[in-house]
Structures are given as structure tokens and as C-alpha cells.
Amino acid sequence: MDLDALRTIDFALLDDAVDDWSTMVGDLETLMESAEKGLHGAANKANWAGYNATVSKEFIGKTAGEFTDAHSQASSIHKILRDTRDELKKYKGQLDDALERARQKNLTVIGYEGGFTVTSNVPPEGRAQQDHDNKGEITALRDEIQKILEQATTSDTSAGTVLMAIADQSRLGFSDVDYDDRDEAAEALKKADELAELAKKDPEDLTTAQFDRLNAGLKDYGKDPLFAERFATDLGPQKTLEFWTGVTSPYTNSHVFRDRLEQLDDMQRNLGLTLATASQSDSAAMTDWKNNVIGLGEKRIGGSNGPMGFQVMSNLMRAGDYDDEFLNRYGTELMATERKLTGNGERQNLAWSFGGAAGTTQYLNRIGEDSGSDPLTGFLKGLSNSPDAATQFFNEEYISKDNPDNPFERDSDDENDYKGKVTLSNFQYLFEERDWPQETDSHGDDLHTGQNNLALALEAATTGHPAGELPTPDTPAHNKEQAKLFESLVSSISDDTGRLTDHGYMSDSIGQITSEYLPDINRAMTDDADADTNRLFPVAGTAATLNHRDVTALLVSVGQNPEGYAAVEVANKDYMANLMDYHMNPNLAAGDRYSNDTQFAIEQLSHGSGEISGTLAIGRQEAVAGPAKESDDAYDDSVAQWKNAVSGGVGTGIGVGVTFIASPVGGAVAGGAASTVSSMILEELFQNAEGHAQDDAGAVIGEKWESGLETNSAYTERAAELAAKAHNRTDLQDNSIDERARAAAQDGFRDAGTNTEYMAPHLKTDI
């Protein structure tokens, strides 16, 4: 900043800007609170259905979030402008004081473009001598003014840099930057530049101290959007891939690799989270970064024998929530390379096999035990954190039936009817056809990380929330694309149950998926041609179209794994209790009622819940008595764990808004104890979850079938009793609604055995 610019600065416009932004922050705070408490809160409580459940509700949620981001961004801008204004006023005051002291000492300061001079205020002919005599004072004044101008310049330019960085973050809408002051934001950018310089070094020249500094910095700043964007774009895509390739190689820098081997997992997470944060930026530099890192996918990194760019980058995707658009473009190019390297899926991808002739022997993954050679493993883990991107990826076409090089042919159900070439989606290829590379862990056991991550990504893609989480009131109802994918999943497992039962490690995710489609499954099991039972089992959003035979096969298959069984069985009890609560509500609109005879409705839903539990019980028997020889104790342990996770919550699974769930049951113990119908039922389910393992398989089947029948009907009876009590439905209580529900549940449980016998006889073991 020039001397004259600071000396003559007019703060009027800057003062107005600070005041305007202060007003803006206050207004946005009011709007933010109104949007969250009013708009968003009301949306979560409403009984959404159809288009509104999938589009309007999600739009309202995102709009409320935009108000929060707008307030955060405006608050940051206001603080930056205020800090800069106050600092510049301080520096102008210091400059004015220095100039006044100069005047009193008969010195003058002359500014010009690019600098200033300090000289004695005497006629030109005597100035040289006077300046020599006043050299000490002139030098001191010059240094003082120079320091003031440098500080003012730093304040002004850093504010401009930070404000431009904030503006560049989001092309549409607002970024979620949130800084307490200008210095905090400026420090983030400065730190990004410093750490990027370290990461740019040739990996062989990196010291352990520099590795530690880089690792700590990424951990501290990785979620900061300004830091992440600056770090990623400073480093660049090529250097990003070269850095991770170098530090994970024992031959590139053996000293750092040996001394920091145990910290490589932290580095992978911290770097991945930083890049994920950066990917959310819409800046021009970050757009180029994303385009170029995809372009490096098939290139060898670190030499002609190095890993491909896809192999390196996919391992950095295991942590964090990457931008959906970036993930979709990356996935499209990744699958194109997969087709190229496998002959459209006809053979195994040796280039992505660990230790293969064309593969790599470098452990690019340091989170878990798989080597990271197969880029689909890391990419699918990334998709599990990004539901929308996962849905789009799985529904994309892998290969068309019209492609002359398509190797996939299928026969129809009629052995005399040849179907021929078939079009496969990415889901069908990965779940049904792909020859997954095999690796073993440190104990010599087979690793299935790729297929496990496939299940996690499917969980996100079908449910609309990240894998490993439970739905909340904020989770949008299932949309058309999610329902379509679930239909494909159910059909695929029904066609070949071994796709799940031979890969039991996928069952926890498939069980969670199934638990969130219980309304759709119940509809299919009613065999109601005119769909009147749709009101008995309401669905918010798009319903999946399923058939009874397929869902029976799904439930028997899921039931053969303790975690899969527990996910569906616990959710089924929760759903049953909530649905009774819903249908007994006297305020339920006439158009939403299944029947004016509430007793009949309760009997019907009890029957449906009973059949689901019975079908799951058959799967449980298969695991205990069949080839798997699964311990029965493992089932009860899993039920207990899932109960604790669900805790009677109401998410999207019930298909109706949370306002339709009753207030606490009268007489319930206060102070955190179970108080609603569903929470009390789950508490009883948890208390009764005890192991009943037996040595004799036949005895196990007989005991568990009888025990399952009794406990299921008991829970259903109790749920009906509690729901009637919660709504003060003495008319139903007087008519023994609990006993009628029990009898209907028993019928449904028994029907599960009959239906499985006829619909899926091949799934049952003869004892």
C-alpha cells in the first residue's frame, strides 16, 4: 500500500459496507432460525407422500441448509471486513502520528508511486548536509513508516485474498465457511501453501519431521474449505498421486517408510478427508484439479511400473464425502477402464490384481488389510459416504445387449426359451458377474473388502443416507432411482440366493437395506391385486414393486446371517409397533385409513409382521442347522446390538411422518426409560435376547420355531395393548384387540413356513 493511499484513505464506504454486512448477518440469522424451526421442522413432521416426499421435502431441507450456509458465509465476510477496516484505521492513525512527529522535527515525507522518501525540510541547497546531520532520525522514521505500510498492505491484501477465496468456493448457493476473524482465514490459506510445498517435494527427500508436520496439519485443517481447496490446487493432481505413491513405497524413502509405517493410515485418512473437502469447491482451479485427476486415471504414477492413477486416487477416496458430480464422472471413467482391461467383463482384471503379472505389489491402502490394488474397492467405500452419487452409479449402464463384444448371455426361466445377450447395469455387473480379485489377510484368511464395500455402497444407494447410519427425519423418502435399485437387488438375490448366502459378510448391509423397505415388502406379501392394502402399509415417496416369491427368498437369505437377521427382525418389531400406533390414531384422516374397522386393520398388519418374522426364522434355522452351522447365540447377541442402535426411533421406514406417532404411553417411567410403544417393545425384545444354542440341529429347529412363534406373537400382543392404551382406545381394548393381534401374528408366522415351502423349497435344509 502506497503512503498517499493510506494517508488519504476515506473510510466512509468501508464503514457503510461493514454496517450493511452487520445488518445482513442479523437478517440472515432470523431467516436461518425461521427456516430451521419453522420450514424445516414442519417438513420433518409432515405426512409427506409421493412426489412431495421425495422432492419437496428434500428441497425444503436443502433450502434450510442454504440459509445456514448463507448466514455462516455472511458472518465470516462481516468479520473479515470489520477486522480489516479496524486495522487500517489503526495503521492510518500510526502513520498520521509519525508524520506529525516528522513535522515537529522539521522532516518531511514525500510519497510517490511505489515508495516514499524522508528528508529534511530545508531549501534544496542545504538539504544534503542537513540529511547527513539528521541521518539517525531520518532512518528511524523511514523504518517506522515502512513497517506501518507493510502491515497495512498485509492487512489489505490478505483480506482481498480471503474474500476472493470465499467467493470462489461455491458457483451456486453458499459455501459453509465459518471464521471468527480475518486472521483465522488468512492463516488457513498460509498453512495450505506451506504444507503443499512439503507434499510437492520428491517423496525420497521427505524427512520424518516433515511427514509429521504434514500429517498434523492435514488433521487440523483438513475440514476447512479454504485450506483444503488451496492445498489441493497448490499441490496439483499429479503431485497428489505421486506423493501417496511415494510415501507408501518402502523403496522410495525407506527411512520415512520404516519410521512412520504405523502413521500411514492416519496420513491416508487425513489426506483423503482434505481432498474430499476440496472437491466440494466450485473454484476454477479445483474444477481443473478434478478434471485432470480423472485424466490421470490410466496413467502410470511414479514410473512405467508404477500403479495407475485410478489405483492411487481410489484409495484416497475411502475417507470423506466427495463431490457427487466428481464421483459420478470418476466412476464412469473407472468403469470404462474396467471394461477395457477385462474384455467388457469376460475375464479377470489382472492389472488390478495384487502381485499379478500386470499388477502392482505396492500396498496403496493403509486402512485395513487389503492392498488397495483394486481401485473399485476404495471407490465403492467412497460411494458409501455419498448416497446420491452411489444411486446414480449403480443404475448406470455397464454394457448394452447391442454391443457386439458383450460377453453376457442369459436364458429365460423357460429352458426352451433362449434369451441371448442382456444389458447389464453397473449394479448387475458388480453384484452378479465380476470376478473380484482375491487377497488374504495376515492370518491367511480370505479378504472380501471389495464386495463388503460394494454392500456398503448399495446401502447408501438404496436408502439415501451414508452406510452405517440410520435414517432420520431429515432422510428423504425413497425416490424412483433408489426403489428401482432395490427391486434389482431383490430380484437378483431371488434368482440366485448364493449371491448373498455365499457372501455372508454383505448381509449386515443388505439387512439394513431390507429393514428400510419393510412397507414395500409387506405390500408384496399381501398378494392384494387391487392394492387396497397400500393404505395398510403406507409408503412415503416411490414404492418398490416386488413380488411375494422374491421377498420370501430375500428374507430367508438375509435371515441366514446373524447381523442381517437382527437388522430386519428388530426393525420389523419397531415398524409393527409404530404402525399399530399409526392406525389406532383417532385423528388419522379418512383417506389414509385402510378400513373403518380398526380391529381388522390391526389383525392384517399383525399377520404381515408375523409372516416376516417367520420367514426370517426359517433363514435363522438354515444357518444353525444347515451347512453354515452358525451359532444360535450369535443371533441373540446381534439382536441385542441392533436394538441398542435403533432405540425405538422413527425414520423414513414407517412411511409416515413422526407427528403420527403417539405421545408416551400413560404410566411409563420417566427419566429416560422406554416410554413410547415401539421403544417399550424393543426394550422387552432386548431383555429376552438370550442364547439358546443346541447341539442337535433338529432340536434347534423345533425349539426356535416354537420360541419364535411364541415371542413374536407376545410382542405383537403387547404392541397392540400399548398402542390402544396410548390413544385411549377403550373400544378396542374392550374388544380384546391384543388377543386378536396375537392370533393374527401366529397365523402369519405359520404361513411363513407354508409360503416358503411352496415359493422357495430349495432354500430349506432337510433334517
Ordered by where they begin, the domains of the chain are 3-169 (1.20.1260.20), 191-399 (no CATH), 471-763 (no CATH)
Residue holding cell 508511486?
A: 113
Cα separation of 517 and 519, whole Å?
6
Residue 125 confidence (pLDDT): 66
Confidence of residue 334 (pLDDT cuts 50, 70, 90): very high
Residue 61 confidence (pLDDT): 53
Residue 179 confidence (pLDDT): 66
> Which residues, 6+ apart, have CB-to-CB distance to 317 below 8 Å?
272, 276, 327, 378, 379, 381, 382
Residue holding cell 497495512?
A: 152
In order, the DSSP letters of 713-729 are HHHHHHHHHHHHHHTT-
Nearest by Cα to 312 from 327, 322, 324, 297: 297
pLDDT at 47 over 60: no
Residue 187 vs residues 134, 217, 226: alpha-carbon distances, Å: 40, 12, 10
Residue 706 confidence (pLDDT): 66
Cα separation of 248 and 210, whole Å?
15
Residue 663 confidence (pLDDT): 57
Nearest by Cα to 492 from 547, 449, 552, 554: 554
The mean pLDDT value for 170-184 works out to 61
pLDDT at 614 over 70: yes
The mean pLDDT value for 370-390 works out to 95
**Per-range mean pLDDT, top range of 120-134, 144-158, 330-344, 587-601:** 330-344
pLDDT at 451 over 90: yes
| Helix count and strand count (H, E) for the chain | 32, 8
Confidence of residue 12 (pLDDT cuts 50, 70, 90): confident
pLDDT at 302 over 90: no
Cα separation of 436 and 499, whole Å?
13
Cα separation of 727 and 526, whole Å?
27
Residue 700 confidence (pLDDT): 46
Q: How many residues does the chain have?
A: 767
What's the predicted TM-score (pTM) here? 0.80
The mean pLDDT value for 225-249 works out to 95
Residue 668 confidence (pLDDT): 47
> Which residues, 6+ apart, have CB-to-CB distance to 622 below 8 Å?
556, 559, 560, 628, 763, 764, 765
**Per-range mean pLDDT, top range of 3-17, 44-58, 125-139, 410-424:** 3-17
pLDDT at 649 over 60: no
Cα separation of 112 and 119, whole Å?
14
Name beta bridge partners: 112. Answer: 115
pLDDT at 319 over 90: yes
The backbone torsions φ and ψ at residue 420, rounded to the nearest 5 degrees and listed phi first, read 90, -155
The CA-CA-CA angle for residues 481, 487, 493, to 5°, reads: 135
Residue 549 confidence (pLDDT): 93
The mean predicted confidence, pLDDT, of the chain is: 82
Name beta bridge partners: 399. Answer: 424
Cα separation of 521 and 537, whole Å?
9
In order, the DSSP letters of 410-462 are EE-SSTT-EEEE--EEHHHIIIII-----EE-TTSPEE-HHHHHHHHHHHHHH
- Ranking 44-58, 84-98, 318-332, 512-526 by mean pLDDT, the lowest is 44-58
Q: What percent of the chain has pLDDT over 70?
A: 80
> Which residues, 6+ apart, have CB-to-CB distance to 143 below 8 Å?
none
